Amino acid sequence: MSLPSDFLWGFATASYQIEGAVDKDGRGPSIWDTFCAQDGKIAGGVDGSVACDSYNRTAEDIALLKKLSVPSYRFSISWSRIIPKGGRNDPINQAGIDHYVKFVDDLIEAGIEPLITLYHWDLPDELDKRYGGLLNREEFPLDFENYARVLFKAIPKCKKWITFNEPWCSSILGYSTGYFAPGHTSDRKKSPVGDSSREPWIVGHNLLVAHGGAVKVYREEFKPKDKGEIGITLNGDYAYPWDPEDPRDVEAADRKIEFAISWFADPIYFGKYPDSMLKQLGDRLPKFTPEELALVKGSNDFYGMNHYTADYVKHGDGNPAPEDFLGDLTTHSYNKHGECIGPETQSFWLRPNPQGFRKLIQWLSKRYGYPRIYVTENGTSIKGENDLPKDQILNDQFRCDYYDGYVKAMAQAVTEDGCNVKGYMAWSLMDNFEWAEGYETRFGSTYVDYKDNQKRYPKKSGLQMKALFDGLIKKG
């Protein structure tokens, strides 16, 4: 079992989760500032206004990466620092650009390769107010394309660009369940606005088109000279049938992955939505115009894969509710034989199942013709971690075991199944703002002491990561 000699590993973060400094250098508010300000949306009533204070501590973060001997770092750029109001005719904020240009220069100087995510959920709030943000099919893709161009131009040294992080979450959690910003949902107890049966599918479509537009700009205007590559990052769990003997559960397990991943990946690789989704959603799935299709089809240089967990899946009754987004099925932690998918963590949706990682890499590779995959996130929270004393938090054996199991399962997919995985970014470099779960849920391989000036202390899992990869990556 091994990984190729050019395999890239590192850690990942995202702007709103770590940066803080929300008013500094002319940053405009994002939908997450607005969402956090609403009562009852975030555990503990907290927000990202300070977070890990990383905007003010770039040198400290780079020193941390060096201490952990990390060869690459995935981070995201805050759109409203670059264009505070977000739109293509709005002023550009040079101070915001300068910040990220210097950060990339400093990373490269330290021998760390940057991977940049353009959009990790923090839409400029003005665009949401101005025209409905991600719901706007005409304006949103053009504004995103413009924002992307500004960055491609400013940061030619970056060779790996990710357009969108987890569009499933932006669509479903942002516009169906209302769990994430901007919090739209049909549930009027939670939000005065939203239509869970329609909006998420419109948003998903617009994100695909915006991705395609930015990729076209990169390929035509920058790639020939900068020689970088660009792709989208999709999230999805592996799905096992609840009863492997029941063909309806076997089908439902596949359908679960299609509703999560193929929703985006099929248009990108095949130019159409999956049949299972067309069948269930009918005309609620927007139709690609020929112009949109030309942007979307073939728009991945690599496949960005975020992955954390797996489920058992039982088929539904053939009559899914209009708000259903899973694909007429239910998910379970135990199968028919009472076997458990994996131990609990602090995250209600996450139970480790390393073999599911191998199986999902295989599933994706087969369906999409063995694309080059960068795992752009993988990691775990630990049940009760936040309540432990610091010395016990630093000894995060559960997380070490998670990484060991998952990285080895990935290496099996490469060595034994012929899958083309070329990179792995652990989530996350440090504890940070875990969206609606606030700061109570920690995903870091570095402990952040929020009560003592956000001081950083590497955990065992962070210190061990290099040895894990050294043991697997073939010597060049």
The catalytically annotated residue of 126, 377, 385, 434 is: 377
Q: Residue 312 belongs to what H/E stretch?
A: strand 310-315
Least distance (Å) between residue 379 CB and ligand NOJ = 7
Among 15, 176, 306, 412, binds ligand NOJ (CB under 6 A): 306
Does the footprint of ligand NOJ cover residue 377 (CB under 6 A)? yes
Distance (Å, whole) CA 325 – CA 408: 32
Marked catalytic residue, from 113, 166, 385, 437: 166
**Residue 167 and residue 121: Cα distance in Å, rounded?**
9
Q: What are phi and psi of 456, to 5 degrees?
A: -105, 135
434 catalytic per annotation: no
138 is catalytic: no
Q: Which residue has the tokens 């131009």?
A: 153
Residue 235: strand pairing partners: 306
**CA 18/CA 52 separation, integer angstroms:** 5
Neighbours of 109 (CB within 10 A): 9
Nearest-approach distance from CB 10 to ligand NOJ, in angstroms: 15
C-beta closer to ligand NOJ: residue 124 or 167: 167
Q: How far is the CB of 475 from ligand NOJ (least distance, A)?
A: 32
Instruction: Note whether 30 binds ligand NOJ by CB under 6 A.
Output: no
Binder to ligand NOJ among 363, 424, 427, 439 (CB under 6 A)?
427
165 belongs to the binding site for ligand NOJ (CB under 6 A): yes
Tell me which of 125, 166, 199, 292 binds ligand NOJ, using CB under 6 A.
166
- Count of residues in contact with ligand NOJ, rule CB under 6 A: 9
- Of the candidates 191, 209, 193, the one whose C-alpha atom is nearest the C-alpha of residue 201 is 209
Q: Are 303 and 373 within 8 A, CB to CB?
A: yes
User: Minimum CB separation from ligand NOJ for residue 14, in Å?
Assistant: 5
Does position 258 interact with ligand NOJ (CB under 6 A)? The reply is no
- The minimum distance between CB 377 and ligand NOJ, in angstroms, equals 6
CB of 249 to ligand NOJ, least distance (A): 27
User: Could you write out the DSSP letters of every residue in 140-209?
Assistant: HHHHHHHHHHHHHHH-TT--EEEEEE-HHIIIIIHHTS--STT---S-TTT-SS--TTTHHHHHHHHHHH
The answer to the question of residue 73 lying near ligand NOJ (CB under 6 A) is no
Q: How far apart are CA 231 and CA 245, in angstroms?
A: 37
Q: Does 199 bind ligand NOJ (CB under 6 A)?
A: no
The edge-to-edge listing of strands for the beta sheet with 310-315 is 238-241, 310-315, 329-332
434 binds ligand NOJ (CB under 6 A): yes
Site for ligand NOJ in 443-462 (CB under 6 A): 443
Q: Which residue, 85 or 442, has its beta carbon nearer to ligand NOJ?
A: 442
Count of CA atoms in the C-beta half-sphere (13 A) of 26: 16
Binding footprint of ligand NOJ on the chain (CB under 6 A): 14, 17, 165-166, 306, 377, 427, 434, 443
* Active site members: 166, 377
